[in-house]
Structure 1
Amino acid sequence: MIPLVNLLIAVGMLAVVPLGLALIEDGGRLRPLWYAGALPGALALWLPRGALAVALAALYAAATAVLASRALPRAIAALSSREDAAREAAVATALAAPVVAGVALVAERGGYALFGYDPVILRLTVAHFHFAGFAAALVAGLVARADGGRLGTFAAWSVPAGTLAVLSGYFVSQWAEFAGAVVLTCGMWAVAAVSLRGGVWLRVSGAVLAGAMVPALWYALGEASGLPHPGLAWTAATHGVANALGFGLCGMIGWRMTKEPVL
């Protein structure tokens, strides 16, 4: 499972986030800096745990911190604007999400059980906050702009809320994490519904996304309730691959091909 997760993380670092930055105002200027952190970060995934891997991961974490610093103005804009509040909140979440991946990667490469979580969970957290964090929130913001109605607004609020709730659930309980997964899934289905109205790449992204959230929801419910559910390896091979490639990568390509794509 680890090689597969590494490949998905690398896709997030080297393709999905750079494509997404081009969809954000002034985000293109951040791409060289992002690559300066993402390239060593991707290399760190394949090295043995130790000082070198931690140093390379720290460069990646520094790049995510720069993105996170750009989230504050968008969050302030969300608080001060009625018309664009949902969209700005989604973009702020997208910019802030990779920093969670950065911190998790540094801890995992150093063999440190951050908040008691073992390395496998930390590595999956790195993947999660590229796709269910950055990509999902950014696309939710794009959907809010493109739709302009209740469905787009719902997506732009519920995806960030669900992402934050899932993260909070790590520290509260598995039922709290499941509740966050429900909110996030509803938001992602709203994203999928709007994406299905777009071009070929967006329709592929929306169709894959609609199905990709089912294994994740099943896993979260099983972990909380004790009911039979797929394991991490199966969930990574289904939900993870579909979410990363079918939704994240295809979605970013699709939005890059639309007119006036910058948020």
Structure 2
Amino acid sequence: MTQNGTVQLEITGKRADVILTRPQARNAVNLPMCEDLIEAFEQIATQPEVGVVVLRSQGPVFCAGADMKERKGHDEAWVMMRRRTAFRAYEMIGACTRPVIAQVQGALVGSGGEIAMSCDFIVASQDATFRFPEPQWGTVGATQRLQRVVGVARAKELLYTGRIMDAQEASRIGLITTLTEADKLAQTVDDTAAQILNAPPLCVQLTKHCIDAGYRTDLNSGITIELAAIDRMLSESDWRGTIERFDARIGSGQKAARS
């Protein structure tokens, strides 16, 4: 376990948990949190045994957005430095070679959305709410990731109005991939992480790479990316053993069906 000032990293076996630990400030994002997120994902990158990452938070609120109070007494150069550090933190989350699940409860606001959308997907409780109030707060943010997740028109409407969106709507528009009851959130994430860990880790990592790289290019180039991944899989993994184990499972299932 590694405890930074605002972020806690726990590695248990093949799973890493990155935990926002500013519940007294509703996990609002400040400069130290950005720096601690960068450090946590740098540490994960050095741990080859980790196969899945869960990004979650302490307390009833996932993240209340940027800590606007920390800007008092600072000039424009500091604000730009702070924003660049935040983007670096989001980039580190998104660049993680292992699947990253965002576990969201309570309010998710502004920068909290940037953190969650930098993960591979979001599992949220039914009591979660989502708000992107950057223009309403006199700033600019979430203009790039949000439109890529929910579409251009929807992103504009959410950002222009700064309205609160409930979890059901967030699920309908694709911001949330899995919606669950509040008291089942942790178990749902645990089950999802366990399912990911059942797959050969190299295949999962290559799948993530192919999707992320392919999203940024055309179909033919994406197929080239996938073929390169398949070539690496054939040269570096026990793919013959995987086929044998698959055949054994199918055989066992057929026997059970006949008995």
TM over 0.5: no
User: When you count strand as a share of all residues, which structure comes out higher?
Assistant: 2
Q: Which has the higher helix share?
A: 1
Pick the structure with greater CA Rg: 2
TM (normalized to structure 1)? 0.26
Compare relative contact order (CA 8 Å, sep 6+) and give the higher one, 1 or 2. Answer: 1
